Chains A and B, each alone.
Chain A
Amino acid sequence: MTRRALFALLAPSGVLAIGWWLYQMKPQTAGLWLAGIVLGVAMHRSRLCIAAAFRDSVLFHDTGPAKAILLALALSAVSFGWMQHQALQQGLRLPGNLYPITAGTVAGAFLFGMGMIPAGGCACSTLLRLGEGHLRFLWTLLGLTAGSLLGAYQYGWWEAVLGKTAPVHLPALLGWPLAAALEAVVFVGLFCLLRWWEQREEGL
Chain B
Amino acid sequence: MNTRSLNVLGEICPVPLMRTQEAVAQLAPGDELVVEVDFVRSVRNIMQWCTRHHYSYKLDDLGPLWRITICKH
State whether the Cβ of B56 lies closer than 8 Å to any Cβ in chain A. no
Asked if A56 contacts B52 (CB within 8 A), the reply is: no
Asked if A61 contacts B52 (CB within 8 A), the reply is: yes
Among B34-69, those with CB < 8 Å from A are 39-41, 43-45, 48-49, 52, 64
Q: A60-B49, A62-B45 are in contact. Are A120 and B13 (CB under 8 A)?
A: yes
> How many residues of chain A have a CB within 8 Å of chain B?
20
B interface SS class = helix
Q: Interface on B for A, CB 8 Å cutoff?
A: 12-15, 17-18, 39-41, 43-45, 48-49, 52, 64
Q: Once the chains are docked, how many angstroms separate the CA of A60 from the CA of B48?
A: 9
Separation in Å of the B72 CB from the closest CB of chain A?
Answer: 16
Asked if B40 contacts A132 (CB within 8 A), the reply is: yes
- Report 12 cross-chain contacts, Cβ distance below 8 Å, ordered by A residue: A47-B43, A47-B44, A49-B13, A49-B41, A55-B14, A56-B45, A59-B14, A60-B17, A64-B48, A120-B14, A125-B41, A134-B12
Q: Once the chains are docked, how many angstroms separate the CA of A129 from the CA of B13?
A: 11
